[in-house]
Homo-oligomer: A and B are copies of this chain.
Amino acid sequence: MLRGLSMVVPADLLCGIVNVGDDLVMHGLRICPDLDTITYTLAGLDNTETGWGLAGESWRVMEELSALGGESWFSLGDRDLATHLYRTQRLAAGGSLTEITAELLARHGVGLRLLPVTEDSLATVFTTPDGASLRFQEYFVKHHHSIEVSSVSFEGAEAARPGAGVLEAIESADRIVISPSNPMISIAPILAVPGVLEALRSRRDDVVAVSPLIGGKALKGPADRLMGELGHPVSNGGIASLYREFAATLLIDFSDAEDAADVIDHNMDCFVTNTVMDSPERSETLAMAVLSA
């Protein structure tokens, strides 16, 4: 979504507020999967063949770590590791995650701003029906999000403060876009930081959300499954009921045109367009729709 927006909006007018609930410390390294994935993607470094990781990545360190019997279920490529070494060193030297994120973007030649929603500790935690507790990456990577979840919580959220510039960005934006990300674990942890939801509510008329569901399915990841397990209708109406309090408009896909009435019943405007971003051109077209909706 941000790549599409960056094709139609000058970089200095664009700002992404990014989830940090997926972050982890592994092998002593601070890893921020969402910030990194977005940075790499905007820099054109994403691996389009695998759909994850960096283009031209190598795996020398992980191969050796695996040979040593170390924890290697969370794959870290050699180039990717450099990002984590950089971030960890800079944090230890007193840099803020916001500053470090800006440094990495600049180093990769990306002009827009990305703001971690908070500098404070915030961890997405899954509870399973048998009471086990899993961190985000255990759920997502170690278990390939294939286990049942009874609840999701955001550890540390209550005490977290919005990161530098986050509330100001929401307050000053001409338009605020909720990306078609997972509402349960990508959007919700952002909303869980005190102050963010309130700021969005006060801008409701200018908030446009893009539904992550098409025909009741997520194109990627477990959004559909998680919504169902956590008791939400797995539909655009379900998305509308989650977003209605802070977003005035929902974009849904052409193939779901019949859901428009349901969305409107939730007191949201509904725009029907092509929401599948399977090429840069379609991302650009969706970005234009989002801005004109």
Q: Residues of A at under 8 Å CB distance from B? A: 25-30, 58, 60-65, 67-71, 78-79, 81-86, 88-90, 92, 103-104, 107
Identical copies in the complex: 2
Measured CA separation A27–B29 after assembly (Å): 7
Residues B69 and A103 in contact, CB atoms below 8 Å apart: yes
Tell me which of B62, B70, B88 contacts A89 (CB under 8 A). B70
Residues A85 and B67 in contact, CB atoms below 8 Å apart: no
Given contacts A78-B78, A81-B81, A28 and B89 within 8 Å (CB-CB): yes
Residues of B within 8 A of A68 (CB): 82-83, 86, 104, 107
User: Closest approach, in angstroms, between the C-beta of A105 and any C-beta of chain B?
Assistant: 11
Tell me which of B61, B79, B107 contacts A82 (CB under 8 A). B61
User: Closest approach, in angstroms, between the C-beta of A106 and any C-beta of chain B?
Assistant: 9
Measured CA separation A169–B227 after assembly (Å): 60
Measured CA separation A29–B78 after assembly (Å): 15
Residue of B nearest to A78 (CB): B60
Residues of B within 8 A of A81 (CB): 61, 64, 81
4 tightest CB-CB pairs across the interface, nearest first? A64-B82, A28-B88, A27-B85, A60-B78
User: Closest approach, in angstroms, between the C-beta of A38 and any C-beta of chain B?
Assistant: 16
Residue of B nearest to A54 (CB): B64
Residues B27 and A67 in contact, CB atoms below 8 Å apart: no
Residues of B within 8 A of A71 (CB): 89
User: Closest approach, in angstroms, between the C-beta of A264 and any C-beta of chain B?
Assistant: 48
Residues B70 and A85 in contact, CB atoms below 8 Å apart: yes
Measured CA separation A28–B92 after assembly (Å): 8
Measured CA separation A64–B86 after assembly (Å): 10
